[in-house]
Homo-oligomer: A and B are copies of this chain.
Amino acid sequence: MAADSSLEFLKSVKGVILDMCGVLYDSGEGGGRAIHGSVEAVKRLMDSGLMLRFCTNETQNTRERFVQKLRVMGFDISVSHVFSPAPAVVQILQKRHLRPHLLVHDDLIPEFDGVDTSSPNCVVIGDAAEKFSYQNLNEAFRVLIGLEKPVLFSLGRGRYYKETDGLKLDVGVYMKALEYACDVQAEVVGKPSSEFFKTVLNDMNLQPHEVVMVGDDLVNDVGGAQSCGMKGLQVRTGKYRPSDECDPSVRADAYVDDLSAAVDAILTNR
C-alpha cells in the first residue's frame, strides 16, 4: 500500500491499541473464529517495533481464559497486554475501600479473588447473561436502595451484541434499569471511559497523540479513544454498519476494511 496523504496522522504513531471481538475474531459457538488475515496482522504489528496493547470490554471470562481462547484461534497474546474492565474495577474497589455485591458472569468471579464482598456497600454489574434474572436484579437493586448513597459500577455500557443464536442484551441495558430504579448514575469501567484508556496509555508510557486505536465499535472504541486525544480507526468487520460512516456524532480518523488493512495503513504511513 502506498502512503496516503489522508493517513498522514499515522506518521507520529508509536503505539497501537486493538479492540478484540469483531477485530481479531467473531464470537460464536465454540468460542468463535479468527477474522481472515487477523492472526498474521497481529504478528506483523508485534514484529514492527510499535507498542501493542489489547483493550476489550469482555466480562464473560477471566483474562487468562480469554487469552487461552484466542490462543486456540492462533493469536499469541500475553495476558499482561490485555486490558479489560474487571481488573480495572478491582483496583478502584481497593482504592476506595468498597465491598461489592457482584452481578457478573460465573466465569468472571475468579477476577475478584481476594476482594471482600461481605456487607456490600456498592454493586458491580458485568455482562451476566443468563444470570440477569428477575431475582438477581431485585437482589442487586435491594443492596443499592439500602445504601445511603448508592454506588453502581457497570463494566462497559454496551447495548447488545450478536451471537450465533441471535442478538443478546448487553450490560448497559441493565445498568440503565438499575440507574432508573435507584435514581443513580452508574460509574462505567471499561470502554469508552477515558480513565480506562488512560490506564492503557500509562502502561505503554506514550502520549495520546502517539497512539491509534483500532476497533469495530464507533462509539466505544473510536469515540472513546478520540475523547482521550488518540486517533481512532474503524474496521468494517464485527458490529460495523455502513451507517457508521455518516454518524452525526462520531467520525473515525479513517475507515479500513479489516485489521489486515489497518496494519497495512499503519506500517506504510508511519
**Which A residues lie at the B interface, using CB under 8 A?**
129-135, 137-138, 141-142, 145, 159-160, 166-169, 172-174, 176-181, 183
Cα-based distance from A178 to B172 in the complex (angstroms): 11
Cα-based distance from A178 to B159 in the complex (angstroms): 9
Label chain A's interface by main secondary structure: helix
Cα-based distance from A160 to B131 in the complex (angstroms): 20
With CB as the reference atom, state the residue of chain B lying closest to A132.
Answer: B134
Contact with A177, one of B131, B135, B177, B183 (Cβ below 8 angstroms):
B177
Chain B residues near A145 (CB, 8 Å)?
A: 160, 167
Chain B residues near A129 (CB, 8 Å)?
A: 134
Chain B residues near A174 (CB, 8 Å)?
A: 177
Q: Give the distance to chain B from A263, nearest Cβ to Cβ, in Å.
A: 33
With CB as the reference atom, state the residue of chain B lying closest to A140.
Answer: B169
Contacts A/B (CB < 8 Å), 26 sampled: A130-B135, A132-B134, A132-B137, A133-B133, A134-B169, A137-B173, A138-B166, A138-B168, A138-B169, A141-B160, A141-B167, A141-B169, A141-B173, A145-B160, A145-B167, A159-B180, A159-B181, A159-B183, A160-B181, A169-B177, A169-B181, A172-B180, A173-B178, A173-B180, A176-B176, A176-B180
Cα-based distance from A80 to B51 in the complex (angstroms): 72
7 A-B pairs closest in CB distance: A176-B180, A177-B177, A132-B134, A173-B177, A173-B181, A176-B176, A159-B181
With CB as the reference atom, state the residue of chain B lying closest to A179.
Answer: B176
Do the beta carbons of A130 and B138 come within 8 Å of each other? no
Chain B residues near A166 (CB, 8 Å)?
A: 138, 142
Q: Give the distance to chain B from A149, nearest Cβ to Cβ, in Å.
A: 16
Do the beta carbons of A167 and B138 come within 8 Å of each other? yes
Q: Give the distance to chain B from A89, nearest Cβ to Cβ, in Å.
A: 21
Chain B residues near A168 (CB, 8 Å)?
A: 138
Known: A138-B168, A173-B181. 15 other contacts (CB 8 A): A130-B134, A130-B135, A131-B134, A132-B137, A134-B169, A138-B169, A141-B167, A141-B169, A141-B173, A142-B166, A145-B160, A145-B167, A169-B181, A173-B178, A176-B180
Cα-based distance from A131 to B135 in the complex (angstroms): 10
Cα-based distance from A179 to B183 in the complex (angstroms): 16
Q: Give the distance to chain B from A45, nearest Cβ to Cβ, in Å.
A: 34
Question: Which of A159, A166, A178, A179 has the most chain B CB atoms inside 10 A of its CB?
Answer: A159
Chain B residues near A173 (CB, 8 Å)?
A: 137, 141, 177-178, 180-181
Chain B residues near A169 (CB, 8 Å)?
A: 134, 137-138, 141, 177, 181
Q: Give the distance to chain B from A134, nearest Cβ to Cβ, in Å.
A: 4
